[in-house]
Chain A
């Protein structure tokens, strides 16, 4: 059994729509990877997220999670345990009135014995660094904290894949930083496979691989360095590049000898200093 999510020739059409939201998408997400999916609004990235764990079923083609087909009703709960989704609005995915009870919601649904749930909840809250908030009602938490509660709720189900559908879109810069550092830790320390859907290019830079979507298709695929060096192509799709990359691009336009694939501020400093 292959340890990967395999997307093969997937098309998806919303019932009330006449156009395909996804057109012949092919992807392979291997266990342990950190993948970022970027694309302008309406490019189909959120639709794709909901296909990964069978919330939507492909109109054509197939998606398999560790070899389990999402079209098969018998697999659906196993798939959802393996691949959890964190959604955009933290308020709309927290079910319980106490933080630890919400984290327990997933394992409770899976029928895990009470002692084991307790253990998982404590562990999950430890990972997202919210242990001291276990007894608090969620509405008193900040956006970033709420989103980390949502992440803990997924971790407690012990998934191999965590899909994040624009988890930082509704957060302030501080909350965004909290969530992204949690996501990175999940990948590096806990070995979780991460699929991060985002429209913040600075977040995509952190991934091992970036997938660019446009109008329902995968148009580019590669390391952040490969992707973001193609400034012109990204702009044509309607996407930005990270600020420093943009700066490097413009400086090159002015005739400065700078690499095209500068991704972080530190790299920029390294490139600029010899020129001074």
Chain B
């Protein structure tokens, strides 16, 4: 229980890992938007090349990235099947009352490719950026919006504390579970309702302890002069480097390609 990895981050020191988290977040968003600009198969060549280069630079294989698709396979299949049968057009095959159309096949394959690229593209962000760096990036990007009431610093602080306490609370859950099992609690048999009920003696002490921890932590933070995000400085400030400029230029080319494929061809 001591070695707990959070998220799917793969530690590394590649060019992609070293990019400023803000760069990666912005590019990921741009990438997602551009995927929706593309309207034919040929256009997908650009994001596929983009991902291939990024994968090469990051040292994370496309095969590994595709593993991220596994939990979403149902959604992908459903998208394909729905498109296959729902789109009207030239009928190529009949299954009972349902028609498979040429347009449906095209549309289904097109949508699936879009979904796959969407998932692979975003997982590249989480695979190469540690949760804590990601948090710093989000905080920094949201900062301009704090003037209109977006609690950027508070959100980031909450994320940090959550990440910090996940291992602690996991360990504690383990401890309570063992203590309750030693007193005859049974967590693994019975039907759904019974199993849910058996979690009560686990969750109640866990929550009580979590609240106690929260109280202690608040006191410790106050004692270390924490008073919110105002006038706070950071030891590590995010810095854009030449790599980031390069990444933005590459994204520019991607955007140009996608837009050209839609409006010029």
A110 to B224, CA, bound (A): 9
Contact with B along A141-168 (1 / 0, CB 8 A): 0000000000001100100000000000
Chain B residues with Cβ below 8 Å from A97 are 131-132, 160, 163-164
Give the interface centre of B213, B216, B233, B237 by most chain A CB atoms within 10 Å: B233
New A-B pairs, 18, CB < 8 Å, besides A80-B223, A80-B224, A97-B131: A85-B220, A87-B223, A91-B168, A91-B213, A93-B217, A95-B220, A96-B160, A100-B235, A105-B226, A107-B235, A108-B232, A108-B234, A108-B235, A109-B224, A109-B227, A111-B232, A114-B235, A118-B235
Could you list 20 examples of A-B contacts with CB < 8 Å? A55-B223, A77-B227, A80-B222, A80-B223, A84-B223, A85-B223, A87-B216, A87-B220, A92-B216, A93-B217, A97-B132, A98-B132, A108-B232, A108-B233, A109-B224, A111-B232, A113-B233, A138-B164, A139-B168, A140-B2
Cβ of A69 under 8 Å from chain B: no
Cβ of B264 under 8 Å from chain A: no
4 residue pairs, one from A and one from B, having the closest CB atoms: A93-B220, A92-B216, A104-B235, A139-B167
* B235 x A121 contact (CB < 8 A): yes
Contacting residue for A153 out of B131, B224, B237, CB 8 A: B224
Instruction: Please report B residues at the A interface, Cβ cutoff 8 Å.
Output: 2-4, 131-132, 160-161, 163-164, 167-168, 171, 213, 216-217, 219-227, 231-237
* A89 x B216 contact (CB < 8 A): yes
Chain B residues with Cβ below 8 Å from A157 are 224-225
A98 to B226, CA, bound (A): 18
A111 to B230, CA, bound (A): 9
Chain A residues with Cβ below 8 Å from B216 are 87, 89, 92-93
Distance in Å from the Cβ of B175 to the closest Cβ of chain A?
12
* B235 x A53 contact (CB < 8 A): no
Cβ of A94 under 8 Å from chain B: yes
Cβ of A101 under 8 Å from chain B: yes
Chain A residues with Cβ below 8 Å from B163 are 97
Distance in Å from the Cβ of A274 to the closest Cβ of chain B?
50
Indicate whether A112 sits within 8 Å of B233 (C-beta atoms), given known contacts A89-B216, A95-B160: yes
Contacting residue for A117 out of B132, B231, B233, CB 8 A: B233
Cβ of A106 under 8 Å from chain B: yes
A100 to B234, CA, bound (A): 12
The total of chain A residues at the interface (CB under 8 A) is 41
A96 to B219, CA, bound (A): 15
Distance in Å from the Cβ of B157 to the closest Cβ of chain A?
8
Cβ of A193 under 8 Å from chain B: no
A139 to B2, CA, bound (A): 8
Cβ of A81 under 8 Å from chain B: yes
> Between A and B, how many residue pairs show CB distances below 8 Å?
98
Contacting residue for A111 out of B2, B4, B221, B231, CB 8 A: B231
* B224 x A154 contact (CB < 8 A): yes
Chain B residues with Cβ below 8 Å from A50 are 219
A107 to B232, CA, bound (A): 9
Contacting residue for B225 out of A91, A110, A137, A140, CB 8 A: A110
Chain B residues with Cβ below 8 Å from A94 are 164
Chain B residues with Cβ below 8 Å from A93 are 216-217, 220
* A114 x B219 contact (CB < 8 A): no
Contacting residue for A77 out of B217, B225, B233, B236, CB 8 A: B225
A55 to B3, CA, bound (A): 35
Distance in Å from the Cβ of B113 to the closest Cβ of chain A?
37
Indicate whether A111 sits within 8 Å of B235 (C-beta atoms), given known contacts A55-B219, A94-B164, A105-B226: no
Distance in Å from the Cβ of A269 to the closest Cβ of chain B?
42
* A105 x B224 contact (CB < 8 A): yes
Chain A residues with Cβ below 8 Å from B223 are 53, 55, 80, 84-85, 87
A23 to B131, CA, bound (A): 49
Chain A residues with Cβ below 8 Å from B213 are 89, 91-92
Chain A residues with Cβ below 8 Å from B168 are 91, 139
Chain A residues with Cβ below 8 Å from B3 are 140
A100 to B224, CA, bound (A): 15
Chain B residues with Cβ below 8 Å from A121 are 235
Chain A residues with Cβ below 8 Å from B164 are 94-97, 138
Give the interface centre of B221, B225, B231, B233 by most chain A CB atoms within 10 Å: B225
Chain B residues with Cβ below 8 Å from A89 are 213, 216
Distance in Å from the Cβ of B91 to the closest Cβ of chain A?
57
